[in-house]
Amino acid sequence: MTSTTAPEALGKPPKISMSAQERRSSMTLASIYGLRMLGLFLILPVFAIYSRTLPGGRDPFLVGLALGIYGLTQAALQIPFGLASDRFGRKSVMIFGMVIFAIGSFMAGVSHTLDGIILGRAVQGAGAISAAISAMIADSTRDENRTKAMAMVGMTIGLSFIISLVAAPLLYRSIGVPGMFVLTGVLALVAIAVIRWVVPDMPMAAHAAPQAPSAPRESVVAPALLRLHFSIFVVNFTQVAMFLVVPLALVQNMGIPVEHQWMVYLPVTLGSFILAVPGIIWAEARGKMRAVFIASVTLMMLTMLGFAFDYRKPVTLILALFLFFVAFNVMEALLPSLVSRTAPPARKGLALGIYNTAQSLGLFAGGAVGGWVARSWSSEGVFLACAALSLIWLGVAWFIQPPPKRAH
């Protein structure tokens, strides 16, 4: 992967390797980010089925709310946590958020009603540290390496999704969904120790001048950033909405019980991950980010249409899953990097907080709106809603341009 280092250079830019400290910071922070997302991902493949054993658990809207409420409380606190990380330091905010996340995990783990799980999920989401993590990665890397670092975060999210899809059916059989919630709480406590003693202390990026009056507005309303915020909203809306339908489809249309569904997810997700990585590297090396971005948006839209019109056939279901994960992995790698490079330096924490708010709202809306559509119309309607939203996204994405390199 290559990066531009001097704007005046006319030839091919030299490669700039990540330092040992940059690698250590990026890898440890990416792992914390991935662990945070396990709170959502780990129950996605099994919750729609497990909920049927609970009172009211056959109502798609309530099931979607249980999945999505995590995103609502996370969205409400992303910007405050981002601002707090700018003011009080990244690591303090990260530790505080992980404590809240652990408490919510244990609450959901001891609950045996859908209402109790919804409450626990809401507390889980309140530990909204994603913006602080993203901002600390930006602090600890040079601009020339920030794309690599943020892509590492995105790939970690994609990898945690893959691990969740494979592990969740096996964990469901051995410890059940309550045990899975407790496990995420224990992992959160481990993450606190990693943040405290493993993640290196980094000074926040120095800024030339206080840009208080203009920088927040630029972070919030700059069209380039708004397009990226909308993009992550759609990605996560689609991700949660489709998993209100897919696990049940694997049971009903392919006869695969939930504890064996990892046999479908493992080859599909690993294959898509392997296919997505070269595309990301090629896009960065050849300056083709826009082309790969638009191709991925188009692929996701076509995938949702494929689900809508023929998802009851096993071949269509598997192929659509594979193509969805290709587009998902590309987006999870590209979007954090693009936001970091586009945001004003003095307000990177705020800009990333807004980005993560959009991400969280997508998680919530995907669960709540997807559940409402499934209850009011049909499973096919969920996919059609995702396809319609992706069509709007394609129009928005058409105007996306990779940001210029900025001196760190």
Query: Tell me: the pLDDT tens digits for 33-59?
Result: 888 788 778 999 999 999 999 988 899
Who wins on pLDDT, 290 or 407? 290
Q: What is the model's pLDDT at position 204? A: 66
Domain locations in the chain?
A: 21-203+215-397
The reported pLDDT for the residue numbered 352 is 74
More confident residue, 220 or 1: 220
For domain 21-203+215-397, the CATH architecture is Up-down Bundle (1.20)
Which DSSP string do the residues of 231-264 spell out, in sequence order? HHHHHHHHHHHHTTTHHHHHHHHH---GGGTHHH
Instruction: Report the pLDDT averaged over residues 64-86.
Output: 89
Q: Is 10 exposed, middle or buried (0-12, 13-18, 19+ CB in 10 A)?
A: exposed
- Do 370 and 240 contact (CB within 8 A), yes or no? yes
- Residue 2: pLDDT over 50: no
Which residue from 295, 270, 271, 269 is spatially nearest to 282, judged by alpha carbons?
Answer: 295
Does position 207 have pLDDT exceeding 60, yes or no? no
Local confidence band at 390 (pLDDT 50, 70, 90 cut-offs): very high
Cα 180 to the center of its chain, rounded Å: 19
Indicate whether 69 pLDDT > 60. yes
Q: How confident is the model at residue 304 (pLDDT cuts 50, 70, 90)?
A: very high
When mean pLDDT is compared over 103-112, 161-170, 282-291, 338-347, the highest value belongs to 103-112
b/e burial code for range 235-249 (CB count within 10 A of at least 16 → b): bbbbbbbbbbbbbbb
Q: How confident is the model at residue 145 (pLDDT cuts 50, 70, 90)?
A: confident
| Banded model confidence at residue 10, pLDDT cuts 50, 70, 90 | very low
Res 179 pLDDT > 90:
yes
Mean pLDDT (whole number) for 60-86: 89
Reported as a single tens digit per residue, the pLDDT across 111-126 is 989 999 999 999 999 9
More confident of the two residues 351 and 254: 254
For the full predicted model, state whether its pTM sits above 0.85: no
